[in-house]
Amino acid sequence: MLPFDDALRLILESAPLMGSERIAVGLGAGRVLAEELVAHTPLPTFDYSAMDGYAVHTSSFTSDGPQSLPVVGESRAGLSPPPLTPGTVCRIFTGAPIPDGADAVVMQEDVARAGDSARFAARPAPGAHIRRRGEDLQQGACALPRGTRLNPFQLGLAAAVDRSELLVARRPRVTILCTGEELRVPGSPAMPGTIPESNGPALAALVRAAGGLPELAPRTGDSLEETERALRAALRGSDLLLTVGGVSVGEHDLVRAALANVGSALEFWKVQIKPGKPLAFGRFGDTLILGLPGNPVSAQLTFALFGMPLVRAMQGDRRPVPARSRVRLKSELRQKPGRTGFYRAVLDGDLALPATNQASGSAASLAYADGLLIVPADSSGYDAGASVEMIRLAEL
Ligand code: AMP
Ligand code: MG
């Protein structure tokens, strides 16, 4: 059985890089930059006023005290202003270019206007209320490094440096194949012993959150032949195949045998984690394969812990692994040492309360959880008040 960190490293190191495609900047949220985004123009591109007021040259002020100066012309956003006439001031608005010959802006709240004359309370400091060309980003600077998973603010920055398109990683195609005679489509007639298939919708949403394109294959029953046929079909055209269920050691757990029969190679199939444990990882040609346990909590958490980082790494994401933060335990958290434990917890401020039901069958406790508390494999747990690492589910 592989320790958690080793399994994750092995998976990430095996991640093949997707090709890239050009997309409109407005469609880039959640995509991973496949180029360094260089500012081909400085940001901002010209000196402009940060305030509504008056553009002045500080040398026009003969003293530090109050002074009146004639107002000549104006500078408005979107227009190129005439140069400042020496000894005068120019009306100016927020976002408007600073006229040649001006070196400061006085905001209008500090000016008393009377006809063509403006009375200033004091001499302004040179540079006041001027946003300088290139002060945010200089021409040629790296605006965003390759491998950035783009958030809305970064799209704003890309547009601000005048980009209409971005080169991003292609989204990995991820096929989800659920196995189990007992599974039926949610909401369909319930024969005795059947259950709604509940991993597919959750996994598809997690795939999408990691930037992948999920496709749900029709579920397969528990015969070797049927499983092999379903695997062959699901492997075609997929960058990553997720199988769900049938990967442990029961007589009807046929996925490993079926994977071997269709010619795929498995690197490992057990990881020292709880919940989870059976987790197969292998490949068939260029397609990677993750064999998830069927149990909904185990399936969804192992995909969150290994699969989402893999889907991100396939896009060249510089930070494929979910962030961890520290929280304080509201009550004790114990485990039998041996496997890295990921425990569902709800947050009360920055106090974490472990869920009372940590059973791997409890889908409800996962749905209500704010995060996963991490207990290292060699630890038997923590007392109330201890500081513990947590992965917040909202930040997956
Ligand atoms: P397995 O790994 O196939 O032995 O499945 C373990 C448990 O998870 C069994 O109780 C299955 O009925 C259940 N299970 C497997 N796949 C799914 C699924 N896609 N949706 C809901 N439950 C499942
Ligand atoms: Mg099964």
Query: Chain centroid to CA 92: how far?
Result: 41
* Amino acid 130: pLDDT: 98
**Whole-structure pTM value:** 0.94
- For residue 216, give the nearest of 182, 252, 173 by alpha carbon: 173
What are the distances in angstroms from CA 35 to CA 32, 113, 169, 213, 217? 9, 51, 9, 21, 33
Closest ligand 1 atom to Cα of 278: 2
Determine contact, residues 235/284, Cβ cutoff 8 Å.
yes
Determine contact, residues 243/177, Cβ cutoff 8 Å.
yes
* Amino acid 280: pLDDT: 93
Q: How many CA atoms lie within 13 A of 219 on its CB side?
A: 22
Measured CA to CA, the distance from residue 132 to residue 44 in angstroms comes to: 7
Q: What is the whole-number distance in angstroms between the Cα of residue 180 and the centre of ligand 1?
A: 7
Measured CA to CA, the distance from residue 65 to residue 62 in angstroms comes to: 9
* Amino acid 205: pLDDT: 98
* Amino acid 211: pLDDT: 98
DSSP lists the bridge partners of residue 97 as 48
Tell me the torsion sign for CA atoms 21, 26, 30, 34: positive
Q: What contacts 167, CB < 8 A, 6 or more positions away?
A: 20, 21, 22, 33, 34, 35
Residue among 183, 227, 292 whose CB has most ligand 1 atoms within 8 A, to mutate: 183
Q: What is the whole-number distance in angstroms between the Cα of residue 271 and the centre of ligand 1?
A: 18
Tens digits of residue pLDDT in 170-201: 999 999 999 999 999 999 999 999 999 999 99
Going by alpha carbons, the residue nearest to atom 7 of ligand 1 is: 295
Check pocket membership of 275 for ligand 1, CB cut-off 6 A.
Answer: no
With a pLDDT cut of 70, the percent of the chain lying above it is: 100
What strands lie across the sheet with 89-92, from one edge to the other? Answer: 104-107, 53-56, 89-92, 67-75, 117-120, 111-114
Measured CA to CA, the distance from residue 134 to residue 298 in angstroms comes to: 51
Going by alpha carbons, the residue nearest to atom 9 of ligand 1 is: 295
Q: How many CA atoms lie within 13 A of 198 on its CB side?
A: 15
List the chain residues with pLDDT less than 70: none
Q: Which ligand is closest to the CA of 195, given by its number?
A: 1
Check pocket membership of 375 for ligand 1, CB cut-off 6 A.
Answer: no
Q: Which ligand is closest to the CA of 303, given by its number?
A: 1
User: In 285-359, at which residue ranges do the beta strands (DSSP E only) sit?
Assistant: 287-292, 325-329, 333-334, 340-348, 351-354
* Amino acid 276: pLDDT: 81
Q: What is the whole-number distance in angstroms between the Cα of residue 306 and the centre of ligand 1?
A: 19
Q: What is the whole-number distance in angstroms between the Cα of residue 177 and the centre of ligand 1?
A: 12
